[in-house]
Every structure is written in structure tokens, then in C-alpha cells.
Amino acid sequence: MTNPGLQGDLRIYRAAAAAYAEGRNPYGAGALTGASGRTQALPFVYPPVVLPLLRPLIVFDYRTTYYAFFVLKMAAVATLILLWQRAFFADDASRACLYLLCALAYAQTLKLDVRAGNISVFEQLLIWAGAIAFLRRRPWTYAAFVAAAALVKLTAAVLLLLLLVDRQRRSVAALLAGAGALALVHGVSAALRPDLFAAFLRNVAALDDRRSVNPALLALIRDGVERLAGGKGPAHLDMIVYGLTVLLIGLTSLTVVRRSGLADDRECVLFLVIFAYTLISPRFKDYSYILLIPPSVYVVVSVLRGLAARLFALALLCTHFFAYQSWVTALVLFTAYLVYLRRPAPPPPESAALPGPA
């Protein structure tokens, strides 16, 4: 028997695919029905271009689809961890830290994704495959992988800006091509089915997840404003504070890259951009923090100095005491990383004195 408490997002995907195949609007209220005929409470919030890709989910009965999807997810998790350790963590200490954070970090983010039945781990595979291409100076491959991830989850398109670090024409061309391809695909989708695209935008605009399920910057700001105001705060204040915070994090990251001469250290820049992207994302679900596992391992193992600092970071990463702890932990590690990157370069070693005449 399938567990009704697991892979809830899979039920949404399957119900949306069935509604689309039947010619119904999968974004409408009450349009999604599960295998038992019950109406699904959560809405479908992915763009219309995704709907044809979900059709394989309705080829077989729900039980078969349930187990097949679970097996695919576990294979994706194993592949992702293998990719991380081969690309970034060659020594035993960093691999041990990687395994620990995969199990416990950010409120057990990997476990949350598997339980939810979300497609986040597949998104992560695309992003990290692109990251490997970036490290190998293959901007077009990077842009293709990130654009593929952003086809489903639009905010991932922000990661295309990493290509600006190269300051090369081919990297800028790859960025523009990736962004242009996304705009073209979604533009054609909106032109062909304006009703579906408008309904998609309405569903996305209505999202307002807060606290542990969405420990993201905008949700944190809205909760803070409402608590300080004793209810709903002044109109647009949350968006103003959000915009200023995004500007601060973005400018700080850019300044560190430019002043520290990091453009040639691609791994450092990659991790910095991933931290910044996580912190500024308006919506970043609990299972989305999978993205931060490799940068967090790097900070714990290679950036922090001293046992006390490392134990404190691991305590923040591997525990969960309050709703926005994942975002706060990311901010703490990001700050430590910025301090590390801004450190003065060590002086060149003094050349030994050449023997001279007595």
C-alpha cells in the first residue's frame, strides 16, 4: 500500500497531468482530484510548459507511479551526492562532513524532499551539473542546464548571472541565449494558452507560505512586519524592505568579488553566488535548501578556523529549533564566508639572501 502521508506533491503533479489530458484547467480551484477521487487542497503552481512533461505520470496506475517515482528520486539523490563528492570533496574529512549534512542539514532538507515527492532533487541535479560545466569553463553548457531547471522553477534563472563573472563575450552570449530561450518558451506558452498562463500567474501570486515550510527572506520579512505592526503592516512595506535587503546582499557580494580579485577562483565565486541566491529568493521551500549543502560543507571544512567555530556551525546546521533557522544559518555561513574572502592576501615569501662575497 502507498503511504498517503508521503509524496503529496506527486499527487498534485499527477492530478494536474490528468486534468490537462482531459482538457480541464489544472490551475482552477477544485480542479485537481487524487487517485481516490478526493479534491487536492494544494494548487498547481508550475508554468503551463511543464504540463505535457507530466503526462508519463498518468500512464500507469497510482501505486505503480508512486513506487517508480520514489525509486527515481532515490537514484537522483545518490547521483547528486556522488557528483558533489567527486567534484568538490576529495579528502576524508570533507566527505564525512558532506554525509553528515546530507543526513541532517537545514532541518533534514534532503529527507523533506523525498517525503514531499517534490521535483527539487531533479532540479538540483540540473543546477549542479551546470555548476561542474561552469568550473570547466563551459558557459553554454552551464546556461543550458540552468535554463532547463528554470523552465520549471523560474527563480533559478537568477543563477545565469554567474556567467557575468567571466567578462567574456561567449559567457555573456550564453547568458543572453539562456534567458532568451526561457522568455521565448514561456512567451509562446502564454500566446498559445493565455487562459492557462493567466491562471498560473494567479496561483503563484496567491502563494504565501510562511515559517518552517518556506523559510525564505520575503516570508521572514512579512512575519516580522506583521508582528511589529500588530497585524497587517503598511501597504508595500514588506516589498520595500525585501528590495533593500536584496540590494544589500547583491552589492555586498559583488563588492567582495571585485575587491578580492576572485574572478579566477571559480569555485569560490560559485559558492558565493549560491549563498546569495538562497538568501534573496522570495520563495525558498524547506526542501530547496539541498542547494546549500556543498557550500555549507566548504565553509565548515575550509573556511572556519577552530573547533568551537566549526561545532557552532554544525549545531546550527544539524538542529532545528525555530521556524526560520535555515535562513538564519545560511546568513551566518554567508557572513563568515564574506569575512574569509575579504581577508588580506598573505605576503609573498621573502626570497632567501644570495651568498655574496665575504
287, 109 Cβ separation under 8 angstroms: yes
Q: What is the pLDDT of residue 5?
A: 64
Q: What is the pLDDT of residue 33?
A: 76
Pseudo-torsion of CA 79, 83, 84, 90, nearest 10°?
Answer: 130
Asked if residue 283 belongs to a domain, the reply is yes
C-alpha cell at 252: 555586498
Give 263-313 pLDDT, tens digit per residue: 668 899 999 999 999 999 999 999 999 999 999 999 999 999 999 999 999
225, 231 Cβ separation under 8 angstroms: no
Three-state SS sequence of the chain: CCCCCCCHHHHHHHHHHHHHHCCCCCCCCCCCECCCCCECCCCCCCCHHHHHHHHHHHCCCHHHHHHHHHHHHHHHHHHHHHHHHHHHCCCHHHHHHHHHHHHHHHHHHHHHHHHHCCCHHHHHHHHHHHHHHHHCCCHHHHHHHHHHHHHHCHHHHHHHHHHHHHCCHHHHHHHHHHHHHHHHHHHHHHHHCHHHHHHHHHHHHCCCCCHHHCCCHHHHHHHHHHHHHCCCCCCCHHHHHHHHHHHHHHHHHHHHHHHHCHHHCHHHHHHHHHHHHHHHCCCCCHHHHHHHHHHHHHHHHHHCCCHHHHHHHHHHHHCCCCCCHHHHHHHHHHHHHHHHHCCCCCCCCCCCCCCCCC
Distance CA 105, CA 293 (A): 7
Asked if residue 311 belongs to a domain, the reply is yes
**Torsions phi, psi for 355 (to 5 deg):** -65, 135
Q: What is the pLDDT of residue 28?
A: 85
Three-state SS sequence of 64-112: HHHHHHHHHHHHHHHHHHHHHHHHHCCCHHHHHHHHHHHHHHHHHHHHH
Distance CA 208, CA 248 (A): 24
Asked if residue 48 belongs to a domain, the reply is no
Number of domains making up the chain: 1
Asked if residue 66 belongs to a domain, the reply is no
Question: Cell 494536474 appears where?
Answer: 16
Asked if residue 273 belongs to a domain, the reply is yes
Q: What is the pLDDT of residue 94?
A: 94
131, 142 Cβ separation under 8 angstroms: yes
Q: What is the pLDDT of residue 354?
A: 46
Q: What is the pLDDT of residue 3?
A: 64
Asked if residue 97 belongs to a domain, the reply is yes
Asked if residue 263 belongs to a domain, the reply is yes
Q: What is the pLDDT of residue 358?
A: 42
Per-residue pLDDT of the chain (358 residues; tens, 9 = 90+): 566 668 889 999 999 999 999 888 999 877 787 666 677 778 899 999 999 999 999 999 999 999 999 999 999 999 999 999 999 998 999 999 999 999 999 999 999 999 999 999 999 999 999 999 999 999 999 999 999 999 999 999 999 999 988 878 999 999 999 999 999 999 999 999 999 999 999 999 888 898 999 999 999 999 999 888 887 878 789 999 999 999 999 999 988 887 766 666 889 999 999 999 999 999 999 999 999 999 999 999 999 999 999 999 999 999 999 999 999 999 999 999 999 988 765 555 554 444 544 4
Q: What is the pLDDT of residue 244?
A: 96
Give the domain extent around 100.
91-110+208-343
Asked if residue 260 belongs to a domain, the reply is yes
Q: How many Cβ atoms sit within 10 Å of the Cβ of residue 318?
A: 16
Question: Cell 555548476 appears where?
Answer: 131
